[in-house]
Amino acid sequence: MLQRTNESAMTRSRRGRDGSGLTIWDRAERAIVGMLGLAALACAVWQVLSRYFFPQQSIGYAEEVIVYLLIWAVMIVSSQLVRTDSHVRPDVLRNVVPPGVARWLEVFNCAAAVVFCAALTGYGWRIVAIAVAIDERSASDLRFPMWIYYAALPAGGMLMMIRYVIRLVGLAAFPHRNPVAPHHIGGHERPDID
């Protein structure tokens, strides 16, 4: 009974219904990504409209700004992909092995992902530091500081790494929980998303 209670508490926590700090984090990420996407859409719409109807107010660097906004959005939303078990990974093998082996495959996957994300974060900060040191700016009229653009790399890496560490702790705290989420043909692998 205790195991079932712990599993249901973990399920509620993963779904974001318990009002915890993770729920606030999830909502903040989604809100930021939504605002970045909306800002990119606004830039694109303005660029198209101004090109045809207001050529004097047209800006030449709208595409550049759109790329910056979307890269930041993609790097932030990658953390949500880890949270919902939707990130790229080798599921074929994990889905055909017994649950005990699947659990160890999941532990290995998470550990490898933590190492990769740590490297992504570390090297990303090096790139940011170099861009700051040489005062690198974009070649357009905007002269955008490139370190802000490059900072998306370590920020996204750090967010994903924290999510993978949370998953590893969950696997250690609930050793009898099956890491393979049940799914149905034609649906998402997480039943609470369909």
- Residue-wise pLDDT for 1-29, tens only, equals 444 444 444 444 444 445 566 788 889 99
- DSSP H helices, 54-143, are 62-83, 91-96, 99-133
> At CA 76, angle to CA 60 and CA 109, rounded to 5?
135
Whether the per-residue pLDDT at 191 is higher than 70: the answer is no
CB 194 within 8 A of CB 188: yes
Q: What is the average pLDDT across 35-64?
A: 91
The predicted pLDDT at position 16 comes to 45
DSSP annotation of 173 reads H
Q: Report helix, strand or coil for 39.
A: helix
Q: Could you tell me the pLDDT band of residue 179, with boundaries at 50, 70 and 90?
A: low
Q: What is the average pLDDT across 168-189?
A: 65
The predicted pLDDT at position 188 comes to 53
Residue type, position 156, single letter: G
Q: Report helix, strand or coil for 37.
A: helix
- Residue-wise pLDDT for 144-174, tens only, equals 999 999 999 999 999 999 999 998 998 888 7
Q: How far, in Å, CA of 44 to CA of 61, rounded?
A: 11
The predicted pLDDT at position 127 comes to 96
Rg (CA), the chain: 21
Q: Could you tell me the pLDDT band of residue 66, with boundaries at 50, 70 and 90?
A: very high
The predicted pLDDT at position 87 comes to 74
Q: Report helix, strand or coil for 76.
A: helix
Which tops the pLDDT comparison, 30 or 93? 30
Whether the per-residue pLDDT at 190 is higher than 60: the answer is no
Q: How far, in Å, CA of 68 to CA of 154, rounded?
A: 15
Q: Which neighbouring-strand residues pair with 137?
A: 145
- Residue-wise pLDDT for 97-154, tens only, equals 887 888 888 888 899 999 999 999 999 999 999 999 999 999 888 899 999 999 999 9
Q: Which neighbouring-strand residues pair with 145?
A: 137
Q: Could you tell me the pLDDT band of residue 182, with boundaries at 50, 70 and 90?
A: low
Chain position carrying tokens 């050793």: 175
CB-CB neighbours of 126 under 10 Å: 13
Whether the per-residue pLDDT at 82 is higher than 50: the answer is yes
Whether the per-residue pLDDT at 185 is higher than 70: the answer is no
